[in-house]
Amino acid sequence: MPTKPFIRNSSLADIQSWLVENGFQKFRAQQIFEKIWKQGVQTFNQINNIPIALREALNVHFSIGAVQEKMRQVSTDGTIKVIFELHDGKIVEGVLIPAGTRMTACVSSQVGCSLDCKFCATGYLPRERNLESFEIFDQVKLIHQIALEKYDQKLSNIVYMGMGEPLLNYKNVVNSVKQLTDEHKWGLSPKRITLSTSGITKMIKKLADEDLNVNLALSLHAANDEKRSAIMPINDSNNLTDLSAAMQYWVGKTGIRPTLEYCVIADTNAEEEEAIELVKFAKQFPCKINLIEYNPISFADFDKANVEKIENFAAILQRHNLIVNVRRSRGKDIDAACGQLAGKQD
């Protein structure tokens, strides 16, 4: 880690104070702020509307910590996976998912993950560190540039569904949402942002108290404690009873209907019995359900359920008046689909 502090962890007021203390004009803070947030300069030398002496002082005292695009892969379905290199050389992945007029950026919140979900490639990686809030912001910015370049469209949505568990990097994730929704930095509506969690109950409640107005997705994948713990060890400390209480708190506090993400895996959670268990869980609070095709990974011996099995599963949920969407996987040929992100560079 660099010994110099990251300037993007400083507020506008902080920068103003530093300028005055070091003999520079206070109004320069707004120019610096504009360049590093709105225009996304990657070095202080690119801030060409401030004096050279100030640029040199900034170089001595601060780091921008800009994220770099290292590589990209394009799927046959138009999905684009981006490998990002962080300031310390560590790698994370993000994905641009085009769907008509909808352009979604899927971003990472951690290098690796600590939760060990058995069906997810990232779960087989060690958690090396949390991302800074501005590193999440940079992923969005760079994916946005790709959307403009390849599709001539702006980003419409952001999902925190890449590498890592967002609610275990709580402070930086919340700060990144505030940065993305700040009109002086990005100005995206919070209704266009979805945070996904494997179910950290106390942090779901804390998030509900933030008044961020973002959407919440719960990676559920089984509605039986024994079965869920077998594929998601986090369930041992955040069981379904506690999760239900947290989701009820979320709805009561925010008024926002959460989404239950359910990856349908053959011989694991795809039978009628499991569908009825999901019905019972989902009936405890207003919600929507996304059924997701399982995407095989080399680390694990799971198989995807066939189309007929998924459709039958969906039909059971619909008969119980639940809102259900079946999500087809995107970017499978480049390991960019749900559960496939693993920081591979080949």
Please give the full DSSP string across 264-305, using - where no structure is assigned.
EBTTTT-SHHHHHHHHHHHTTS--EEEEEE----TTS---BP
**What does the pLDDT read at residue 339?**
46
CA dist 139 and 64 (Å) reads 14
Look up 183 and say whether it is catalytic: no
> Could you read off the pLDDT of 287-315 as tens digits, one per residue?
999 999 988 777 777 888 999 999 999 99
338 is catalytic: yes
pLDDT number for residue 330: 63
Catalytic residue (choose from 106, 263, 287, 338): 338
Report the C-alpha gap between 306 and 294 in whole angstroms.
Answer: 10
Q: What is the share, in percent, of the chain residues with pLDDT greater than 90? A: 84
The CATH architecture annotation of domain 7-61 reads Orthogonal Bundle (1.10)
Residues 220-267 have pLDDT tens digits of 999 999 999 999 999 999 999 999 999 999 999 999 999 999 999 999
Cα gap 162→260, rounded to integer Å: 17
Query: Residues with Cβ < 8 Å from 94, sequence gap 6 or more?
Result: 81, 82, 84, 105, 106, 107, 108, 139, 142, 143, 162
The domain 68-334 is classified under which CATH number: 3.40.630.10, 3.40.50.300, 3.20.20.70, 1.10.1040.10? 3.20.20.70
Q: Which of 34, 69, 93, 311 is catalytic?
A: 93
pLDDT tens-digit readout, 68-92:
999 999 999 999 999 999 999 999 9
Residue 340 has pLDDT above 70, yes or no: no
Quote the pLDDT of residue 298.
Answer: 72
Average pLDDT, the chain: 93
What is the structure's pLDDT at 43? Answer: 96
pLDDT at residue 26, as a whole number: 97
Q: What is the pTM of this model?
A: 0.93
Give residue 210's pLDDT band: very low, low, confident or very high (50, 70, 90).
Answer: very high
Write down the domain spans for the chain: 7-61, 68-334
Say if residue 125's pLDDT is above 90: no
pLDDT category, 337, cuts 50, 70, 90?
Answer: very low
Residue 178 makes CB contacts below 8 A (sequence gap 6+) with 212
148-168: average pLDDT: 96
What are the φ/ψ torsions at residue 289 (nearest 5 degrees)? -125, 130
